């Protein structure tokens, strides 16, 4: 595994090696040893999987408190624009976002530590998105910010009328209206 820094400290792109032959391919999607070598002491407690139609936007979410979540995310089928926003209040990159395309063809994942909002836009129908998380789901710890917050200025590649956003996500506050617990 190769860990690639992003412009935001602690947010990492991870490239896994792909072994291909005439049968197909093999990818080791997770191994604790390289994470330990990078100084990431993550213990994953839950795996999640979502399937989304083209245009579905899920986000921007975080989980705080005793079950704050770090996330290791990847696409198993399809393609997404994946976005993370730093909401660590003492960070030099507070409020800054980072985005990249994750798809089924590249062996890339994104490590999103606690203290980040996360969201993604499905760019293809039937996109399967996998999350390994370090905290159990806890409704009391849910935190979110609107996907269209002008202060975040995330460049979503679809027009608002092309997006499918849950009612809950449309009701989220703007970043300036929350107090970050991180």
The residues annotated as belonging to the active site are 61, 131
CA-CA distance, 26 to 6, in Å (whole number)? 26
CA-CA distance, 75 to 13, in Å (whole number)? 13
- Residue 79 contacts residue 107 (beta carbons within 8 Å): no
Q: Could you give the 3-state DSSP secondary structure of residue 63? A: strand
Task: Please enumerate in sequence order all residues whose Cβ is within 8 A of that of 128, keeping only pairs 6 or more positions apart, or say none.
Answer: 49, 50, 51, 75, 76, 77, 78
In terms of phi and psi (left: phi > 0; alpha: psi -120 to 50; beta: otherwise), the region of 65 is left
DSSP secondary structure, 124-158, as one string: STTEEEEEEESS---GGGEEE--TT-TTT----SS
């Amino acid at each position: 595994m190769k860990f690639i820094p992003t412009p935001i400290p602690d947010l990492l792109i991870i490239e896994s090696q792909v072994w291909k032959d005439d049968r197909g391919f093999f990818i080791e999607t997770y191994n604790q040893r390289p994470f330990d070598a990078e100084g990431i002491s993550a213990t994953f407690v839950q795996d999640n999987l979502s399937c989304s139609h083209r245009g579905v936007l899920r986000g921007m979410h975080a989980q705080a408190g005793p079950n704050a979540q770090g996330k290791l995310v990847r696409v198993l089928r399809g393609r997404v624009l994946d976005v993370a926003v730093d909401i660590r209040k003492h960070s030099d990159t507070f409020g800054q976002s980072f985005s990249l395309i994750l798809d089924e063809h590249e062996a890339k994942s994104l490590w999103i530590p606690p203290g980040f909002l996360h969201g993604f836009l499905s760019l293809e129908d039937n996109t399967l998105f996998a999350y390994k998380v370090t905290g159990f789901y806890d409704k009391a710890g849910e935190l979110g910010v609107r996907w269209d917050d002008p202060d975040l200025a995330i460049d979503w590649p679809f027009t608002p009328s092309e997006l499918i956003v849950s009612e809950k996500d449309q009701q989220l506050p703007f970043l300036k209206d929350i107090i970050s617990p991180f």
